[in-house]
Amino acid sequence: MTRARPCIVGVGGPRLAPEEAALFARTPPAGVILFARNVEDRAQVRRLVTDLRSACAPWPLLVLVDQEGGRVQRLGPPHWRRLPSAAAIGELARAEPEKGVRAAWLVGRLIAQDLYEVGIDVALAPVLDLALPDTTEAIGDRAFTSDPELVGQLGRAFLAGLEAGGVLGTIKHVPGHGRARTDSHRALPRVATPLDELARTDFHPFRECASAALGMTAHVLFEALDFERPATLSPRVIAEVIRGAIGFHGLLLSDDLEMGALDGPLAARAHAALEAGCDLVLACSGDHARNRALLNALLPMSETLAARLKLLLGRPGPAPGFDESAAALELASLLGQA
């Protein structure tokens, strides 16, 4: 079997183009991420996922999507239910912690229901960044709350709901994007907070959820750790904080390498992230020429990484006995929407 390249890429539209299928057959990526541009309805998404897997066969492709609830929900109405934001769950949890934790589990489980049905393996959620007064609107209501302990509890519940539905979760943006005042989609945020304060606050939710299968890095430069490189490109941040102090040992994905926080050619960004310690790099644009250049620039992944990916794809399916309608009603009642 041809080992895939250690990257996750986007595709251009709701149907796999012949040139995309041919590229993936020659040089398969480890995974494909879907966006709203790839989504029309349930039957169409199932076909697209099937076609992607056929193109990459016999490589067992990961299919991922940003499905957090709130404003980051690629599968949305009218064909999928609208789900609450993390901030709405956090507001409930601050008032009634047990109900908030239950709501987080229900949202994770309902997301898994929708994704598993169309063949998607990975939800790029939950966001574990703290919702601080100066947090950039790029995070905003995607974050649960400012309380590190409560964010950790809600994150664990969300991940458990996803797992119960047969879908993998992804903790992001490790080791924390909450103190960034700049939108990393546009420019590189710099954070000057002392390391002991970061360890006590921002890092805490990630420690609490360190057993997650996947994690996504933050394009944030932490001056107390690396004055030159953001976390995604920093061997020190990845080794000492993400793998060390936080204790995350799952698959580490970069955030989208095509964001404005990074500079230089895409292939150079990818090599720098992989050399820093990311397992897989993410390129979301879906531009065919950029995908081709990236896939051709990367060597096949190691046998060890390939084995880890295959193990993830062999996870159990949904636990039996889930009543989707009852779960949706319970969630609405908890949030005062019934």
Report pLDDT digits (tens) over 173-207: 999 999 999 999 999 999 999 999 999 999 999 99
Which pLDDT value is given to residue 1? 61
Catalytic-residue membership of 204: no
| Continuous H helices in the chain | 18-26, 42-56, 86-95, 97-117, 148-164, 195-200, 204-208, 235-236, 266-276, 288-297, 303-313, 324-334
Whether 315 has a pLDDT exceeding 90, the answer reads: no
Whether 338 has a pLDDT exceeding 70, the answer reads: no
Which pLDDT value is given to residue 2? 72
List the catalytic residue out of 79, 185, 271, 288. Answer: 185
Structure tokens at 308: 């880890």
Q: Model confidence over 112-149: pLDDT tens digits?
A: 999 999 999 999 999 999 999 989 999 999 999 999 99
Q: For residues 75 and 114, give the distance between their C-alpha atoms in angstroms, rounded to a whole number.
A: 8
Q: Which residue, 70, 56, 51, 68, is CA-closest to 23?
A: 56
Percent of the residues in the chain that have a pLDDT greater than 90, as a whole number: 96
316: confidence class by pLDDT, cuts 50, 70, 90: confident
- Average pLDDT, integer, range 163-169: 97
> From the CB of residue 99, how many other CB atoms can be counted at a distance below 10 Å?
15
Which pLDDT value is given to residue 285? 97
- Average pLDDT, integer, range 305-323: 92
Enclosing H/E stretch for 308: helix 303-313
| DSSP conformation class of 233 | G
Q: Which residue, 17, 87, 24, is CA-closest to 54?
A: 24
List the catalytic residue out of 147, 226, 255, 256. Answer: 255
Q: Is omega for the bond preceding 126 within 30 degrees of 0, making it cis?
A: yes
Domain coordinates in residue numbering, the chain: 5-334
Catalytic-residue membership of 185: yes
Q: Model confidence over 24-71: pLDDT tens digits?
A: 999 999 999 999 999 999 999 999 999 999 999 999 999 999 999 999
- Average pLDDT, integer, range 213-221: 98
CA dihedral for 242, 244, 245, 248, sign (positive or negative): positive
pLDDT, the chain, mean: 96
Q: Is omega for the bond preceding 249 within 30 degrees of 0, making it cis?
A: no
- Average pLDDT, integer, range 158-177: 98
Whether 4 has a pLDDT exceeding 70, the answer reads: yes
Q: Model confidence over 224-282: pLDDT tens digits?
A: 999 999 999 999 999 999 999 999 999 999 999 999 999 999 999 999 999 999 999 99
| Top-tier CATH class for 5-334 | alpha beta
> From the CB of residue 43, how many other CB atoms can be counted at a distance below 10 Å?
10
> From the CB of residue 1, how many other CB atoms can be counted at a distance below 10 Å?
10
Place of tokens 């959620």: 125
Which pLDDT value is given to residue 3? 85
* Contact predicate 247/220, CB 8 Å: no
DSSP letters, 19-71, are HHHHHHHHS-EEEEEE-GGG-S-HHHHHHHHHHHHHHHTTS--EEEE-EEETT
Place of tokens 């057959």: 25
